Amino acid sequence: MMVDGEPVLFEILDTCPRSEDELPRDEILQWADGFMLVYSIVDRASFRYLGQLRRHLNNTLPNLQRASLSSSSGAATAGGAPPQQPTQAQQASGPAPVCIVANKADLIHLRQVSTEEGEILAKDADDGFVELTASEQVHQVAQAFADLCRDVYAHRRRSKQSLLDRVFFAGTKGIAAKANDPGGRK
């Protein structure tokens, strides 16, 4: 798919649960650069599950990032490459981007979840939101992926900027603090 004139390859992992209580494993959450969470407007249970999943992301991702940062093992994955763990810059830039998608918008006569409910859920978490019919609005589906991709790129830029700030300015603060302490105390 092309996003802003550049080819982008999406790796999509469908984590469709077998039950309403089943949430994605931590490894899956760490793997993703962004999340597209989909519910059906004609299925209130899918909306409730999505709310539960969104709360799980809010609670789990920061803990996973902290755990990854505190572990300094040099373990490698089966392929020999070092494991992909969130950097301090990723932690500072916040959680991975999320787009909430309300599907089956063409089935208005069967609607169980209002547009406003979806918008509120997205706004409360500062997520993107779109309501569409995936089977009929392929362009809107592609647009939702493109928007999420742009959010992921922006998130990565913030991560890099955050790292640069810490590298160049964190040392300056430390030097200034030491210079102001004539006894050399910490």
- Asked, for residue 133, whether it belongs to a domain, the answer is yes
List, for residues 105-164, the tens digit of each pLDDT value: 999 999 999 999 999 999 999 999 999 999 999 999 999 999 999 999 999 888 776 665
Average pLDDT, the chain: 78
Residue 164 located in a structural domain: no
Q: State the Cα–Cα distance between residues 164 and 26, nearest whole angstrom.
A: 28
Q: How far apart are CA 43 and CA 104, in angstroms?
A: 10
Residue 36 is part of which domain span? 7-69+84-157
CATH of the domain at 89: 3.40.50.300
Q: Is residue 170 part of a domain?
A: no
* Residues ≥6 apart with Cβ < 8 Å to 51: 121
From residue 162, give the alpha-carbon distance in Å to each of 1, 32, 144, 158, 166: 29, 20, 27, 6, 6
Confidence of residue 88 (pLDDT cuts 50, 70, 90): very low
Find the mean pLDDT for residues 14-25. Answer: 81
pTM of the model: 0.72
- pLDDT of 137: 96
pLDDT of residue 58 exceeding 60: yes
The answer to the question of residue 173 being in a domain is no
Tell me which of 155 and 69 has the higher pLDDT.
Answer: 155
Question: Given this model, what pLDDT does residue 32 score?
Answer: 87
Which residues on neighbouring strands pair with residue 99, listed in sequence order? Answer: 36, 128
Three-state secondary structure call for residue 57: helix
Is 2 domain-assigned? no
- DSSP sequence for 127-158: -EEEE--TTT-HHHHHHHHHHHHHHHHHHHHH
116 found inside a domain: yes
Does residue 151 fall inside a structural domain? yes
Give how many domains the chain has, as a whole number.
Answer: 1
182 in a domain, yes or no? no
Rg, C-alpha atoms of the chain: 21
Task: Give the confidence band of 28 by pLDDT, cuts at 50, 70, 90.
Answer: confident
Q: Which of 98, 91, 111 is nearest to 41 (CA)?
A: 111
